[in-house]
Amino acid sequence: MTQQVEKHKLQLKPLSDRVICKRLEAEEVSKGGIILPDSAKQKQEKVEVLAVGEGKVDQNGNRVPMPVVVGDIVLMDKYAGQEVSIDSQELIIVRADDIVAKVEK
């Protein structure tokens, strides 16, 4: 069953092994205390999972469970995924294989 965060009211449902994520805000101030302008901020690889597909089907016809659930904070490959804009929200659709780690709370 597709999991989805109700508070975001997404109009998208990811298929197969895809995950819909939202980038977390980049740091406003550098470690040295310098305030960074928007043009100097790097894209954040740390994202929040908003919706999860059902998982892909293996060669035997069994569904492979997804490694993440809605609400997880994860790290993804820097250039992975498809960026989309839905209802003025910037979202990313990535494959589960592009997620490299979960951030423990």
Q: What values do phi and psi take at 38, rounded to 5?
A: -55, -35
Residue boundaries of the structural domains of the chain: 3-26+34-102
pLDDT tens readout for residues 58-100: 999 999 999 999 999 999 988 889 999 988 889 999 999 999 9
pTM: predicted TM-score of the whole model, two decimal places:
0.75
* pLDDT reported for residue 1: 45
Distance of CA 51 to the CA centre of its chain: 8
3-state secondary structure 32-48: CCCECCHHHCCCCCEEE
Pick the CATH number of 3-26+34-102 from 2.30.33.40, 3.30.460.80, 3.50.50.60, 3.30.390.50: 2.30.33.40
